[in-house]
Chain A
Amino acid sequence: AQKITQTQPGMFVQEKEAVTLDCTYDTSDQSYGLFWYKQPSSGEMIFLIYQGSYDEQNATEGRYSLNFQKARKSANLVISASQLGDSAMYFCAMRVGFYFGNEKLTFGTGTRLTIIP
């Protein structure tokens, strides 16, 4: 069975500072993908970044980067130069296997990030 653990229920960060959101995962599969989603108060889930288990480089998307440490089974999200609009819930999720129709994700419990002006 797959499991995602997010140990930070809430974080407060000063605007313009960098923030790291922790995520550890557990799977016996060799092929898997890790995702981060943002959920603002409006409720929609917004895809941020993806890391494949065989990707050698850490993924980056604008101000988002994923600190992938395979041996430690961690996939932390780093947001640089935080903005007030970054205040939201953040979910780490995992997909195992890569055959068609197996794209379902297992989610962690989330971290609520609040950016302080």
Chain B
Amino acid sequence: EAGVAQSPRYKIIEKRQSVAFWCNPISGHATLYWYQQILGQGPKLLIQFQNNGVVDDSQLPKDRFSAERLKGVDSTLKIQPAKLEDSAVYLCASSSESEGTGELFFGEGSRLTVL
């Protein structure tokens, strides 16, 4: 079974530029998450989708971050304009209520550096 796919793995941009990250969850997983992990910290949830609807985006900085999950499969997270403090790893995860303990399966992450 293929895991959660993310791209790009690494991205370096200057502040005020824009960037987009893509995620393809495990096939059949209805729930998709984007987490932000700043160096030395634990992951923080940005947004959670169930199918193509948003379940929780309370911690998403909506003035600069946006995310969509068209057709309930893959998802895109966009940052525009980027700030220095957005430097972090952006982790995508997916889960299914019918599998195991409902644990989240994570991708390898997209590391963003904002100069």
Mask, B75-109, CB within 8 Å of A = 1, is 00000000000000101010101001111111111
Mask, B14-46, CB within 8 Å of A = 1, is 000000000000000011010000001111110
Mask, A26-44, CB within 8 Å of B = 1, is 0000000101010000111
Contact call A103/B102, Cβ cutoff below 8 A = yes
A101 at interface by CB-CB < 8 Å: yes
With beta carbons under 8 angstroms apart, the residue of B48, B91, B100, B106 that contacts A104 is B48
Known: A104-B56, A107-B44. A43 touches B101 (CB 8 A): no
Contact call A103/B31, Cβ cutoff below 8 A = yes
CA distance A36 to B30 in the complex (A): 22
A91 at interface by CB-CB < 8 Å: yes
CA distance A110 to B43 in the complex (A): 10
Residues from chain A with a CB closer than 8 A to the CB of B102 are 33, 95, 98, 103
CB B2 to nearest CB in A, in angstroms, measures 14
Interface residues of B (CB under 8 A from A): 30-31, 33, 40-45, 48, 50, 55-56, 89, 91, 93, 95, 97, 100-109, 111
Interface residues of A (CB under 8 A from B): 4, 33, 35, 37, 42-45, 47, 50, 52, 91, 93, 95, 98, 100-101, 103-110
A-B contact pairs, 16 of them (CB 8 A): A33-B101, A35-B101, A43-B109, A44-B106, A44-B109, A45-B104, A50-B100, A101-B30, A101-B48, A101-B50, A101-B55, A103-B97, A104-B45, A104-B56, A106-B45, A107-B43
